[in-house]
Amino acid sequence: MLDDSKGLDIEGSEPDAKGDTSTSRRSVNRRTVLASIGGAVTAGLAGCGGSQNDSGSGGSGGGSDQSGGSSGGGSQNLGERVPPLVIEYWTNWSQAKAEEDFLPVVAQNFEELGLTTEIKPVNGGTQLSQTFADQRTNHITKGYHESAPDRADPFEFTRIFAADYAGGNGRPNYPNWANCAYTEPALAQANAASLEERQKLINEAHKVMGEEAPVIPLIRFSYYYAARSDFIDIAGVGQSGMGPMNPHFYIQSEAKTGDSIVAGYSGFSIAESLNFLTMSSHADMYPYGHMLHSPLLEYDENRELQNMLASDYTEENEAKRFTFTLRDATFHNGDPITPEDVKFTFEQLNNNIGAYPKMDQMPLDSIETPDEKTVVFNFTDSYPLFITKVIPLWGILHKQTWVDAGAPEDPAGATITDLIGSGPFAVDDYEIGQFMKMVPHDGHPVHEPNSPVIIQSFDDSNSARQAFEAGEVGVISNIVPTILEQIKGKLGDDMEIGRLKGFLPHVLYPQSSFAPGQFKEFRKALGAAIDRQKISQIGYLGKEEPVLRGSPLLGNHPGSPPEGVVPKFTDDPTGDIEGAKALLEENGWGWDDNGNLHYPADADTSPLWPKGEEPDTGEFPCLSG
């Protein structure tokens, strides 16, 4: 019943670790977490983040139970018991219902390995902030990633796993994993001289990732959406769906009843400050960056790059110099959009990457503004992804608004309540945590929206569903197919349903700076044990394919390594418990008489670096450059 939108459907030996000591060093969380698969959790995470020795000498978790739990007897020469695993998932974002349904499958699989597990719901923004600060509040982060247009370039999901993003620096290395054999090609790909050379480096990096297993994909993450065709004249869907990452749907569609298109998003962030540059979620950031602002170039609904605020551009000197000519356009207050605003936007972003999670450091040399319509970017190295990745993501800021808010001095703390943007819509009204109304802006040089848009924020997908059925909202997106099928049964032909096939996964990120996730064999065993087929069936009616290899770039991603380059966790989509156990046993792990998993007897259980700090250049020499 659910139809696919076309989407982007482009479908060895151990490396020298070069500073990754995860195969020889061991660290353990020693404070016991009293949790079980089938029973009530009697204590929260009392090891990953509690009172611990931050020098690194006391283990990664600290706590009072030095043994990690009773051995339960047995005569094997075993180390400490592996502590119960805390898995955190993002409770306020769209996939929480599906995760609540299928994460018990993961817990059951891990129980079969001799582990106990606490599944812990956490606010997504809070969870990511703690992870990116390496606060060790969990052992595994459960995540998923939207297939946004700019993510069709493989840069983001190659760059973020490099060693310089690991640790407590605010950067989005989700597993806090550091490995120099990965980092070197992952960094080099951004400045490769040719597409062929770049793909070779991407393949090399993701091969190492698959061998080291810091990323454990589960199933494809696709985007499901629905619209009330009795309320909306639907247009602009193309290959991008009806979600928050397709502004063209809202620009081209038109309200049939009432004067506005009303969209219901679960978990959408409408904060007191409209400082959207600090947001960590693509889905949150896109309406601010592409409806309230416009970039120089932008992907259309068919994911083709189009001129937007720039009428044209040139690329010179082996992608080290880019010149843009601006169209005649105004901000929402009537001020002209000038080269100085463009210069401010990219200097503000590049100078404050620690405050802006979606921004990456550019090899920027200078920005010139030779006249009132021209902007020239000069780079120290070839930077071809400036056009495909960077420019299309960032809308042009109104310089005076951000200067007045103190953004240059305090980028993370700047408070903006009157947002003057460059996009096809302007803010008309909003209520913190509730709704935002946007009205068409007649000074935009390209777009002429047909209707105002109201984005209504809901705490969960069930609330969004109820509003959709009641006719209070005309669009819902990122809703799991089980719910959409139920709605279809009630509304019939008055709604359109679609699926945007994703090229990124649902994923587990074992925290790799401390035990047990710092051990490669443990990560690989977890990845082999999972029944991905059952996860798909429970969460998505079996519609989402299991992902068996250890890379976030799925087979239909335009930058995906060819089949066979990235190792698989298993060939069995239902999981291979016996194979996972054998892998652990081969590496010295074992079980007591009660079936509880223990570390090897000779395990070095100190963390790879202290909590909240960053990897040391002595152990990770690729960081010294």
Residue 575: its pLDDT value, please? Answer: 99
Report d(CA 544, CA 87) in Å as an integer: 22
Per-residue confidence band for 267, with pLDDT thresholds at 50, 70 and 90: low
Reduced to 3 states, what is the DSSP secondary structure of residue 60? Answer: coil
Residues 238, 498 contacting (CB under 8 angstroms): no
Looking up tokens 């007045």, which residue turns up?
404
The first and second tokens of residue 263, run together, are 């969209």
Average pLDDT over residues 160-182: 97
Taking only the tens place, the pLDDT of each residue in 523-538 is 999 999 999 999 999 9
Q: Mapped to the 3 state alphabet, what secondary structure does 263-327 carry?
A: EEEECCCCCCCCCHHHCCCHHHHHHHHHCCCCCCEEECCCCCEEECCEEEEEEECCCCEEEEEEC
303 vs 314, residue with greater confidence: 314
Question: What value does the mean pLDDT of the chain take?
Answer: 88
pLDDT(504) > 80: yes
Pairing of strands 475-477, 261-266: parallel
Residues 28, 41 contacting (CB under 8 angstroms): no
Instruction: Estimate the share of the chain in helix, then strand, then coil, as percent rounded to the nearest 5.
Output: 25, 20, 55
pLDDT(37) > 70: no
Rounded (10°) angle between helices 461-469 and 481-491? 10
Average pLDDT over residues 375-382: 97
546: β partners? 219
Q: Tally DSSP H helices, then E strands, for the chain.
A: 15, 24
Give Cβ neighbours of residue 329 (< 8 Å, ≥ 6 apart).
309, 336, 337, 422, 443, 444, 445
Lowest mean pLDDT among 67-76, 112-121, 156-165, 319-328: 67-76
Residue 290: its pLDDT value, please? Answer: 97
Report d(CA 46, CA 584) in Å as an integer: 25
Identify the helix (H) or strand (E) that includes residue 96: helix 96-111
Report d(CA 127, CA 88) in Å as an integer: 8
What percent of the chain is predicted at pLDDT more than 90? Answer: 75
Taking only the tens place, the pLDDT of each residue in 41-97 is 333 333 343 333 333 333 333 333 333 444 444 446 899 999 999 999 999 888 998
Residue 485: its pLDDT value, please? Answer: 87
Report d(CA 435, CA 458) in Å as an integer: 9
Average pLDDT over residues 457-463: 82
Report d(CA 354, CA 422) in Å as an integer: 24
Reduced to 3 states, what is the DSSP secondary structure of residue 495? Answer: strand
pLDDT(128) > 90: yes
Residue 154: its pLDDT value, please? Answer: 96
Residue 174: its pLDDT value, please? Answer: 98
86: β partners? 118
Report d(CA 434, CA 446) in Å as an integer: 30
* Spatial CA neighbour of 76 closest among 609, 605, 594, 614: 594
Residue 532: its pLDDT value, please? Answer: 99
The first and second tokens of residue 10, run together, are 């482009």
Residue 244: its pLDDT value, please? Answer: 87
Average pLDDT over residues 19-42: 32
Average pLDDT over residues 337-356: 97
* CATH architecture, domain 275-421: Alpha-Beta Complex (3.90)
The first and second tokens of residue 410, run together, are 């305090």
Looking up tokens 């298109």, which residue turns up?
261
Q: Does domain 223-267+424-500 have CATH number 3.40.190.10?
A: yes
Looking up tokens 């018991």, which residue turns up?
81
Domain with CATH 3.40.190.10 in the chain: 223-267+424-500
- Whether residue 408 is preceded by a cis peptide bond, meaning omega within 30 degrees of 0, is no
Domain with CATH 3.90.76.10 in the chain: 275-421
Report d(CA 150, CA 393) in Å as an integer: 7
Average pLDDT over residues 491-501: 91
Give Cβ neighbours of residue 262 (< 8 Å, ≥ 6 apart).
231, 453, 454, 456, 472, 473, 474, 475
Report d(CA 183, CA 253) in Å as an integer: 44
End-to-end CA distance of the chain: 54
Rounded (10°) angle between helices 481-491 and 532-540? 30
* 595 Rama class: left (phi>0) / alpha (psi -120 to 50) / beta: left
Q: What is the DSSP string of 520-576?
A: HHHHHHHHHH--HHHHHHHHHTT-S-B--BS-SS-TTSTTPPPTTTSPBS-S-TT--
Report d(CA 113, CA 132) in Å as an integer: 29
Per-residue confidence band for 421, with pLDDT thresholds at 50, 70 and 90: very high
The first and second tokens of residue 163, run together, are 């060693």
Give Cβ neighbours of residue 410 (< 8 Å, ≥ 6 apart).
none
pLDDT(4) > 60: no
Taking only the tens place, the pLDDT of each residue in 548-601 is 999 999 999 999 999 999 999 999 999 999 999 999 999 999 999 999 999 999
